[in-house]
Chain A
Amino acid sequence: MEHNVEYYIKTPLKKDEILKLKAGDTVYISGEIFTARDEAHIRAIEYMEERKQLPVEFNRGVVYHCGPLMKKKNDEWKAVSAGPTTSARMNKLMPKILERVEVIGTIGKGGMSDEVMKALKGKGVYFAYTGGAGALAAQKIKKVKGLYWEDLGMPEAVWVFEVENFGPLIVGIDAHGNSLYAEIDRKIEENYRRIVGN
C-alpha cells in the first residue's frame, strides 16, 4: 500500500474530495471542525430522532473525537491541549449518525469497528491523528468559534474550532471499505497465535 499521497482539504467537505482519499493517505484539514465524544453523540442522536435542530451540521462536517482542555482568557476560550480521544468508544454510536448524512469526516485515534467501516462506505472517511499530541494539535486551532451543550462538562461538550492545516492526519478508514486497522488487526492476531504457540 502506498502511503505517500498528501491532500489539503477544506470544510465543508465535498463528496468527490472524500471519495478520492485512500487508506494510508496523509491529509491536512482547514476550516471548521467540531468535537463530540460519547455524551455529545448520545445527545445528537436523540436530537436527530426527535427532529430537533442541532447546533452543528454533521452533514459535510468534520467530527473530532476530542475532549479538549480549554482555558478562558479575557472572555474568550482558547484550546490549551486538544489531541484525539479513543474512537472505539463511539463504535456503536457513529453508525446512527452516519445513516443521516451524505458526506462526513471523522478524526480520532485507535481506529473504529468493521460496522463503522461499512457505514462509512460511499460517504465518509476516518482520519487517524496521533494520540496524546495535545499541545501540537492546539497550535493548529486558530479560533474557538462556538461552544454548545456546556452542561455536559468541558471534555464532553461540543466545541467548534477553526483550524488551519490540521494534521498530519492519516486516512485510517476510507470510503471504499479499506481499513488500515482491519489489515493490521489480522496480522496482530496471526502474530499473537505464533507468540503464544497455538
Chain B
Amino acid sequence: MVEYEEVVSAIHKLFFKAETQLGEDVIEVIKKAYEKEDNPVARRNLEAILRNIDSAGKLKVPMCQDTGIPVVFVELGRELCLDFDLKDAISEGVRKATKEIPLRPNAVHPLTRKNPGTNTGLHVPLISLDLVEGDELKLTVMPKGAGSENVSALKMMLPSQVESIPKFVVEVVKNAKGKPCPPIFLGIGIGSTFDGAAKLAKKALLRDVRQMDEFERKIMDMANELGIGPMGLGGRTTVLGAYVELGFCHTASLPVAVNIQCWANRKASTVLR
C-alpha cells in the first residue's frame, strides 16, 4: 500500500538528489570529453563544470541556479490501488522541495508572468503517466532548465524526408549554439503525433547516457563537427550523446522533436510499493 505522505516525501528526496548530484553515467561522459578536448578555452569550461559538480555534491546545494521546471514521470502498476490524489501528492512534494532544498521558484503565469513562488500552478508540475504491469509505483523527476528547453525544436517533416532527419537535428543544434549550456544531450522523438513526438524526445533523455546505437552515434558525431564547443566558445565537445525514441505515426506524417538537455542532465528515480 502506497500512502500520500510517502509520495510527498519521495518527490522531495528525488528533487534533492537530482539537483545536487548527477548520475555516474553523466559524470563519466563529461570526464571522457574533458580528457579528449584539446581547445584550451573548452578545457577551462569543462574543468569548471566538473569542479562545480563536485562542489554541489559536497555542499549539498543545487549544481545550477536554474533548478528547472518540475517534470515528473509516473509508472503506475495496474495492480496498485491508490486511495488518494496522486497529482496532489506530487505537487505537494514539489512545494516541499521548493521550500526546503530550496529550489528557485521558476513557474510563472505565462501571460502576467506572476510568480506564486511554489513551482506549482496551471499544469505544473508536468506529469506523464504510464500504465505498466505489476504493483509498483515508479517516480522519476527531471528538473528541466530553460536555457536548453528554449532552443529545443519540433518539425512536422514529410514521410519522404526520413533520410534528412539527422540534418534537421544538426540544424537545431547549430541554431542553439552556446545558448543551451553545451556540452549537451539530445533527446530525439521520431514519429507519433505533434505532441507525442515531443513527449518521446523528453523520455529519450531518461536513458543511461552511455547507451547509444549506431544511428544515434552518427547523429552525435555529425553535430560535433559543428565545433560549437562548451558554452559556445569552440571545441570538439558539443554533444555528449543523442538518444532516439520511436513511435508509430500516421502514414502521411513524420513528426520529429529534438529536446535539448544541458550538461546538467538531472534526473532521479525511485520505486514505491
Contact = CB atoms under 8 A, between A and B. Distances in A.
A69 B62 contact: yes
B202 interface: no
B63 A195 contact: no
B264 interface: yes
Contacts of A39: 113
Contacts of A192: 170-171, 174, 226
B227 A188 contact: yes
Of B51, B64, B65, which is in contact with the most chain A CB atoms at under 10 Å from its CB? B65
B117 A153 contact: yes
Interface in A53-87: 66-69, 71, 80-83, 85-86
Given A81-B64, A128-B233, A136 B222 contact: no
B128 to A, nearest CB: 25
A128 B44 CA distance: 12
B178 interface: yes
Contacts of B147: 85-86, 109-110, 131-132
Contacts of B117: 153-154
A132 B64 contact: yes
Interface stretch (A44-52, A93-101, A178-186): A178-186
A110 B48 contact: no
Interface in B222-240: 222, 225-234
B41 A170 contact: yes
A24 B41 contact: yes
B179 A132 contact: no
B49 A110 contact: no
A138 interface: yes
A134 B62 CA distance: 8
B263 interface: yes
Nearest to B104: A69
Given A136-B52, A188-B228, A168 B174 contact: no
Nearest to B48: A130
Interface string B50-73: 011001100101111111000000
A83 B231 contact: no
B52 A111 contact: no
B131 to A, nearest CB: 35
A72 B171 CA distance: 43
B77 interface: no
Contact of B225 (A82, A139, A191): A191
Interface residues of B, number: 53
Contact of A130 (B52, B59, B106, B113): B52
Interface in A136-157: 136-139, 153-155
A196 B147 CA distance: 26
A187 interface: yes
Contacts of B228: 184, 188
A81 B65 contact: yes
B150 interface: yes
Interface string B241-268: 0000000000000000000001110000
Contacts of B55: 135-136, 139
B102 A132 contact: no
Contacts of B227: 184, 187-188, 191
A192 B146 CA distance: 25
Given A109-B231, A187-B227, A130 B49 contact: yes
A69 B41 contact: no
Given A185-B177, A188-B177, A195-B226, A132 B52 contact: yes
B96 to A, nearest CB: 15
Given A88-B179, A168-B48, A195-B222, A184 B229 contact: yes
B104 A136 contact: no
A184 B233 contact: yes
Of B102, B230, B232, which is in contact with the most chain A CB atoms at under 10 Å from its CB? B232
A138 B61 contact: yes
Contact of B40 (A3, A133, A139, A189): A3
Given A39-B113, A136-B48, A191-B225, 13 more contacts: A80-B62, A86-B147, A110-B147, A110-B232, A130-B48, A130-B230, A131-B262, A133-B64, A135-B64, A139-B55, A168-B44, A184-B228, A188-B228
15 contacts: A3-B40, A68-B104, A80-B61, A81-B65, A109-B231, A110-B179, A110-B181, A132-B263, A133-B64, A134-B52, A136-B52, A154-B105, A155-B104, A188-B227, A192-B170
